[in-house]
Every structure is written in C-alpha cells, then in structure tokens.
Amino acid sequence: MGRGAFVVFEGCDKSGKSTQCRLLVDYLNSLGKKTELWRFPERSTAIGQIINGYITKKDELHDKAVHLMFSANRWELVPLIKEKIASGVTLVVDRYAYSGVAFTSAKGYDMLWCKNCDIGLPRPDAVYYMNIDVEDASVRGDYGCERYEVSDFQKKVQECFQSLKEPSWNVIDAGESIDNIHKILCESVLKTLAECENTLLSE
C-alpha cells in the first residue's frame, strides 16, 4: 500500500476552506481512501489552548511569541503527521505554515523571520489557495468574532499570501458555488493522490 497524501488548504478567513475540507474528506472516505480532516491551529493541545486564548481575544501575547506558538503547534504534531501518512492515511489540512507566515508578516514583520521557525516541516503534496474577495468574505457567517477578522487586515494577509504563492499552488475561485468548487477539488485531489503514492514526503 502506498503512502497517504498531505493536502493543505490556505486562504483568508471565511474563504470556505473548512466547508471544502469537510466535503473533500467525506468524498475520499466514501471512495474507501482513508482520509482525516486536520486543522491548524490544533486548539486541543496545551499550546493550542494558548493560541485559542489569543485568537478569541481573551489573552494578549507578543506578536512574535504567538507566531512561535503557531509554529510549535505544527511541530508538536509532525511525528503524528508522518506516522499517519506513512500508514496510508491522507491528511486534508485546514491551514498550515503559509498561514503562519501570511498572518504575522501582514503585521509588518520580516517575511524571512516569519518563515524561519517552520523550516524543515513536512512539505504538502498539494496546496489549494482559496482566493476570495475580502469584502465578500466579510459578510459570511460570524465574521468578526475572532482576532484578525477585519477587512483591512485581511487585505494585507491576502497580499502576503500572494507573495508566498508558489507556481505549484492550485488557486481556487472561492466566490464560486460550494458544489462547483467541490467538483473541481475532487478531480484535482484524486490526481494528487495517484501521483504521490510512490514518492517520499519532502521537507
């Protein structure tokens, strides 16, 4: 049996990542392909709890300290990521290191500094960038509850994502209907699964 795939979704808040991740995971499981839905931040760990306090505006933390927390939250799960993928499970991950860099560099911090702590993390086999008009996203359900959910800041985040974007990224028009996006993703992810089965996960 080949390894599982490591598929990451990125984008601004309320761009539809979580909805599409859920639909995709259900679809892949319905085909008999073992798939799990993951997310970063993973708020259930001790580090994740600290992040949650910050994101929900209960606690204050220095920008650089919280950046390192987000990165540590990924690093603490690397052994499990590797184990799952090696055992043939595909991981569909709602946000990863690109969010880490985009959200902190949008505050004005040097992008290289932001990238440093994530160097060496497992590299996704595919990245889907949900591209949405920030104003359209701002009228979607419970927008504004969490820290960062402010249009001016989201515009900066989007610019940072644009400069992080690699040629291999799949840019999805997140203004399209849920069904249309889902169909596009299913087709594309099946190709990714087939392609990466006999390759190694890289860093």
Residues 57-86, interacting with ligand NYM (CB under 6 A):
70
Of 9, 20, 91, 95, the residue at the interface with ligand NYM (CB under 6 A) is 95
Sign of CA pseudo-dihedral 94, 120, 71, 166: negative
| Site for ligand NYM contains 100 (CB under 6 A) | yes
Q: Residue 143 binds what, of Mg ion, ligand NYM, none (CB under 5 to 8 Å, by partner type)?
A: none
Nearest CA-CA partner of 12 in 136, 142, 195: 136
Which residue has the CB atom at the shortest distance from Mg ion?
13
Q: Residue 9 forms beta bridges with which residues?
A: 94, 128
Tell me, what amino acid is at 166? E
Q: Under the criterion CB under 6 A, does residue 103 sit at the interface with ligand NYM?
A: yes
Which is nearest to 181 in space by CA: 13, 7, 22, 5? 22
Measured from the CB atom, the residue of 2 and 144 that comes closer to ligand NYM is: 144
Which of 45, 31, 61, 64 minimizes the C-alpha distance to 193?
A: 31
Question: Quick one: 32 or 120, whose CB is closer to ligand NYM?
Answer: 120
Strands (E), the chain: 6-11, 35-39, 90-94, 126-131, 170-173
Listed ranges 23-31, 95-103, 163-171, 193-201: which one lies at the site for ligand NYM (CB under 6 A): 95-103
The yes or no reply on residue 9 touching ligand NYM (CB under 6 A) is: no
Out of 40, 128, 129, 161, name the contact with ligand NYM by CB under 6 A: 40
The letter for the amino acid at 171 is: V
Q: Which residues bind ligand NYM (CB under 6 A)?
A: 13, 40-41, 55, 70, 94-95, 99-100, 103, 146, 148
